Structure 1
């Protein structure tokens, strides 16, 4: 036996299902909770609302309504994940989405521009807003809380000036309206679901094979297959439910996946790839973990900070477009109210840390579903408005408390 083999023999142990489960248990004890609280919350909420409203909550119509209801918050939360990964905050994301939606509506309705010009203009406005915020935070070193609070107030004024007090601008473009109000052909929904299952399975198996061939530490193949089976079951069951005919009258047929759902899926894939498989994504985590260490390692911290605000506001624009599609209009209060709080809550509930350095794009999807489930379920129960606010606030506070306790636990064990 060579010296190198003896030195690294302990690192080349067999990694079977039992050791993988033990490692996962140790990570949970050390505060590495990941998406576990969100998944448990989803299961608990589904069980609770099913027991309280068995005839309506799991109905085909309500499941489709739930998927559409979660779209704007999920997209907005996905952009906020990038900002939160640096330990920053963007209080203006909600009203930025409203302003971008107003730009879209005015261009389509008043200026008669085609949908693609309106969409590109709205997203460009969002990116400009994010660039300005990022420059003020990164170059002038103004705290992001102060900058985005100022933008939160100012952008509402711009929207009010653009639309007019008490005004509403209708959105009548067929393609924009279809995002939240039309469904894909059933055959296309099944084709996309099957392709996603095949692509995800192939990606996971190829990653496992590369690590296994190089004799690197990897998950056991049984764990990888189980993970693929869970994702496949979720996608295929969701596709089956949304493909059922949910028309209230036998004279018409209404089924298929809403067009906005694959849009969120595409954004999730892109954001996951950027954060997990690119140097830029690694730089975001590095800056969020320790900005000074990242700077000393040669990372352009200023550029990373500016870019995450650009991404956040750009996705806020997409969120505003989807919200306008759902309502078929844009009002002066678009993106205001609880929009931002729900989006931040979705990201945190999904597992993104408020302290930076930890989080994934999937957190926005899981947290967005939790927020939508709470809102949808309480609506079905006919809960008073004040109770809905109280319950949602308590859920957000609980998620933030879990994040703080997990961070303290990680500090105690030296992670």
Structure 2
């Protein structure tokens, strides 16, 4: 508790502002329209945020190293277009087409990363050019078709339009709780064996208990409609996997080191260029898979796929969730929390029959507030010497 209080005093608020903001947003919209927290609307909300949320998850990797990727939306569009053309026009198996789309996205990210590290082109300019180029490539891939529909009963469509039975949610809650307790005990044992102080379990138990309660509550809510959406489960599964990658692996520590101070990381023996190339590759891979989920939900790919406000929402979600624009700070859960905020605002405004203009204004205001909080936290850490 003392450690957390000290972090708050230095301006490191963590996910607290986002969680409080999400609660306030939910209360306001529920008062304005009683259907906001209904099982049907929450299920629709989960379907709406999954595809863009996966793209935001990839944006986190690039922001952590202090860079930006403006091509994520276009990458999701061209890769999903390639997937549908291969499946519908050329008869490829859907699973193989999905794999090819993700590999195509990885190749694009690798291309961006190599140009960025080898030629020193600023990521803003590089990916802005990529945004235009891959958007043009998408039009070429689609050709004269314009829109290509996906079969309603096919493998691709099932990704975003399948619901699972509620018992799966209870199993996930039980597995998470068991794994959390086991992790806490193993960590304590590891520290004792090495003569290190063992922290009290209270904070970890409270956090893990809260997450378990959220899983159980979500399961109960979704079970009252059609069941647990598969696309939401995929999104949350990717969030957990990325969280393990960022916090529990050597590569994750290198990623944060490069974002915090690239020169210091280089002097410590870290291959800074390689880390940045991998970050761009992962970001584009997740953008491609986000495009697959978007195509699955809409049962089609067209010339507008990956466009509109998808890129802006993905970047805004990562920043609103707590990933720093200055590099060195961020988490996988920031994409989830930020996407929930943006999705809740958009969904609530739709229930209130508000125009897109109002939604853009409110989303922009939330984004600016998140950046202000990040800037203040950065100053607080600098003043405290952290």
Cα gap change, 1:25 to 1:256, in 2 (>3 Å): same
Q: CA deviation at 1:269?
A: 2.0
For residue 71 of structure 1, report the CA deviation from its aligned partner: 0.3
Superposition map of 1:18-37 within 5 A: 20=1, 22-37=2-17
Specify the alignment match of 1:299 in structure 2. 270
| 1:70 match | 49
Q: CA deviation at 1:204?
A: 3.2
Asked if 1 retains the 8 angstrom alpha-carbon contact of 2:95 and 2:155, the reply is no
Alignment: residue pair count: 385
Deviation at 1:209, TM superposition (A): 4.0
- How far the C-alpha of 1:266 sits from its partner, in A, is 2.0
Partners of 1:102 and 1:180 in 2: how far apart? Answer: 17
- State how far apart, in whole Å, the 2-side matches of 1:380 and 1:147 are: 39
Q: Is the 8 A contact 1:346 1:364 kept in 2?
A: yes
Instruction: Specify every segment of 5 or more residues in structure 2 that has no aligned partner in the other structure, as ranges.
Output: none
Aligned partners of 2:32 and 2:197: how far apart in 1? 46
Write the distance in 1 (CA, Å) between the matches of 2:98 and 2:184.
35
Residue 169 of structure 2 corresponds to 189
Query: Which secondary structure does the structure 2 equivalent of 1:70 belong to?
Result: helix
1:93 paired residue among 72, 76, 82: 72
Q: Distance in 1 between matches of 2:13 and 2:283?
A: 25
- The TM-score with structure 1 as length reference comes to 0.90
What CA distance in whole angstroms lies between the structure 2 residues aligned with 1:111 and 1:232? 45
**Does the 8 Å contact 1:197/1:235 carry over to 2?**
no
Instruction: Indicate if the aligned counterparts of 1:31 and 1:406 stay in contact, CA closer than 8 A.
Output: yes
Q: Quick one: distance in 2 between partners of 1:321 and 1:118?
A: 10
Assess if the C-alpha contact under 8 Å between 1:268 and 1:361 holds in 2: yes
Whole-angstrom CA distance in 1 between matches of 2:248 and 2:239 = 13
Q: Secondary structure at the match of 2:70?
A: coil
- State the distance in 2 between where 1:140 and 1:88 align: 15
C-alpha distance in structure 1 between counterparts of 2:257 and 2:57, whole Å: 19
Equivalent residues of 2:169, 2:215 under 8 A apart: no
Consecutive unaligned residues of structure 1, counting only runs of 5 or more, are 1-19, 247-254
Aligned to 1:87, the other structure's residue is in SS state coil
Among 146, 156, 159, the alignment partner of 1:176 is 156
Given the alignment, which residue of 220, 225, 228 partners 1:257? Answer: 228
Alignment deviations for residues 215-264 of structure 1 (CA, whole Å, 9 cap, x no partner): 534542122211111011001110111111x3xxxxxxxx2111112212
Bigger CA radius of gyration: 1
Deviation at 1:397, TM superposition (A): 1.1
Kept in 2: contact 1:37–1:349 (CA 8 A):
no
Question: 2:114 maps to which residue?
Answer: 135
1:279-294 superposed matches below 5 A: 279-294=250-265
SS across alignment from 1:169? strand
Question: Where do 1:89-168 residues align within 5 Å?
Answer: 89-164=68-143, 167-168=146-147
- Contact 1:166–1:332 (8 Å) recurs in 2: no
d(CA) in 1 for partners of 2:193 and 2:270?
A: 32
Structure 2 CA distance, aligned partners of 1:128 and 1:402? 35
TM-superposed deviation, 1:27: 0.7
Q: How does 1:228-377 map to 2 (within 5 A)?
A: 228-244=208-224, 246=225, 255-377=226-348
CA contact (8 A) 2:159 2:293 kept: yes
Deviations 1:252-284, CA, capped at 9 Å, x for gaps? xxx211111221222122211111111111110
Deviation for aligned residue 1:287: 0.5
Show the 5 A alignment for 1:20-59.
20=1, 22-54=2-34, 56-59=35-38
Q: Distance in 1 between matches of 2:198 and 2:122?
A: 41
Q: Distance in 1 between matches of 2:243 and 2:320?
A: 18
> Deviation of residue 312 (structure 1)?
0.1
Change beyond 3 A, Cα 1:165–1:204 = farther
Instruction: Spell out, residue by residue over 1:33-57, the C-alpha distance to the aligned partner (whole angstroms, 9 max, x if none).
Output: 2211111111111111111112x11
Change (3 A) 1:149 1:235: same
